[in-house]
């Protein structure tokens, strides 16, 4: 019979170490979370894989982003060349990066670092019509699930989520509005960097989109307002939970995916570790809706999984706390 790892057992182990009980604060809590998610004591956190999902959004047709949609394709090329910020951070923390085409609005050339999982070339314009069909939402969820399963089977101890998609903060704001729920005005931020006029237009476009549908059921909200990369990240979270795998959730867009995943399957919340509190308006409120306390608060708002990568060493440290620190009784008895 498999032994069940309990919080009480892990806490007793931590309290018996050669240091004052509770002296490592939230790192101790993180060690407990890892052990409970993986049902291993000590847990493993050496190998982090960043699943970076890329897709375009029809909402960009109405100017919700400062940048044109073509930037998504250009940034995917940059990621595959190893020259994006996510690549630099991944090298710094020893993480693997997998770039997944969830729905880029282009025919991308094949590349050994690119996974072709495209559902369609970008979502539709949610200000005018549903962003996806129900079949497309379910396919995106399934393909995200498959990508997470593949990363776990390849040896990942921890999954990190990231995204690339011009316009995706607009989609995430709409998801937050309906699934948190929260007033739309509290969900909309500058994204990649709007000026005052651009932000005013973003508010107006998203108000028009929200007025188009009164959806509140999670799958229907994803159909009406979601993005292909957001739906795939939700599917990846479901897979992580199914496999007892901790998943590091990045910033505003990834947290919207986590919100959708949890609203669809509440039990999957236990697998989510929230990497950081973004500077994007609304993120703190969305974290509160998920009863989440992030590991870092660095005023980040880039995306690409950068915050999740920066948090990965904290998980390694927390796992090492359970595997490498001597007990006080052993220290006193000279059994080192």
- pLDDT of 258 reads 98
- pLDDT of 192 reads 67
Q: What CATH number does the domain containing 311 carry?
A: 3.40.50.10210
Assess whether 228 and 251 both reside in one domain. Answer: yes
Catalytic residue among 28, 136, 163, 304, which? Answer: 304
Assess whether 39 and 177 both reside in one domain. Answer: no
Assess whether 277 and 312 both reside in one domain. Answer: yes
Q: What CATH number does the domain containing 14 carry?
A: 1.10.1610.10
Assess whether 265 and 279 both reside in one domain. Answer: yes
Contacts of 150 (CB under 8 A, 6+ apart): none
Assess whether 37 and 73 both reside in one domain. Answer: no
Instruction: Establish whether 291 is a catalytic residue.
Output: no
Answer yes or no: is 1 within a domain: no
Q: Which two tokens stand for residue 56?
A: 């375009």
Q: Into how many domains does the chain fold? A: 2
Angle in degrees, 0-180, between the axes of helices 85-93 and 306-324, rounded to the nearest 10? 10
- pLDDT of 71 reads 96
Assess whether 98 and 138 both reside in one domain. Answer: yes
- pLDDT of 1 reads 63
Assess whether 38 and 177 both reside in one domain. Answer: no
Q: Which domain holds residue 24?
A: 7-43+320-333
Q: Helical H runs in 54-129?
A: 70-80, 85-93
- pLDDT of 336 reads 86
Per-residue pLDDT tens for 149-185?
Answer: 999 999 999 999 999 999 999 999 999 999 999 999 9
Question: What whole-number distance in Å separates Cα of residue 336 and Cα of residue 329?
Answer: 10
Question: What whole-number distance in Å separates Cα of residue 191 and Cα of residue 64?
Answer: 9
- pLDDT of 210 reads 98
Averaged over successive runs of 10 residues, the pLDDT of the chain (336 residues) comes to 89 96 97 98 97 97 91 97 98 98 97 97 98 98 98 98 96 98 93 80 96 98 98 98 98 98 98 97 96 97 97 98 94 89
Assess whether 268 and 134 both reside in one domain. Answer: yes
Question: What whole-number distance in Å separates Cα of residue 130 and Cα of residue 153?
Answer: 35
Tell me if the bond preceding 100 is cis, omega within 30° of 0.
Answer: no
């Amino acid at each position: 019979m498999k032994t069940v790892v309990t919080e009480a057992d892990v806490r007793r182990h931590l309290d018996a170490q050669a240091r004052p009980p509770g002296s490592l604060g939230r790192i101790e809590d993180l060690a407990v979370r890892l052990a409970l998610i993986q049902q291993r004591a000590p847990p493993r956190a050496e190998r982090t894989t960043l699943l970076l999902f890329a897709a375009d959004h029809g909402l960009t047709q109405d100017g919700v982003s400062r940048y044109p949609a073509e930037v998504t394709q250009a940034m995917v090329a940059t990621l595959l060349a190893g020259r994006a910020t996510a690549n630099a951070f991944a090298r710094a923390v020893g993480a693997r990066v997998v770039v997944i085409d969830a729905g880029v609005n282009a025919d991308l050339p094949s590349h050994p670092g690119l996974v072709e999982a495209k559902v369609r070339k970008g979502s539709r314009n949610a200000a005018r019509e549903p962003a996806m069909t129900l079949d497309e939402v379910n396919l995106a969820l399934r393909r995200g699930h498959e990508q997470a399963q593949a990363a776990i089977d390849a040896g990942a101890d921890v999954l990190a989520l990231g995204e690339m998609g011009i316009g995706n903060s607009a989609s995430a704001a709409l998801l937050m509005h309906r699934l948190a729920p929260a007033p739309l005005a509290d969900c909309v931020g500058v994204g990649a960097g709007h000026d005052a006029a651009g932000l005013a237009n973003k508010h107006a476009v998203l108000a028009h989109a929200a007025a188009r549908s009164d959806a509140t059921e999670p799958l229907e909200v994803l159909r009406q307002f979601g993005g292909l990369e957001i739906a795939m990240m939700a599917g990846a979270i479901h897979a992580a939970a199914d496999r007892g795998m901790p998943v590091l959730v990045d910033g505003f867009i990834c947290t919207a995916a986590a919100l959708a995943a949890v609203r669809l399957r509440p039990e999957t919340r236990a697998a989510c570790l929230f990497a950081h509190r973004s500077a994007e308006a609304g993120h703190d409120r969305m974290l509160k809706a998920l009863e989440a306390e992030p590991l870092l608060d660095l005023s980040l708002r880039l995306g690409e999984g950068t915050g999740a990568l920066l948090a990965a060493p904290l998980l390694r440290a927390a796992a090492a706390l359970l595997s490498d620190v001597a007990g006080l009784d052993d220290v006193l008895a000279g059994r080192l």
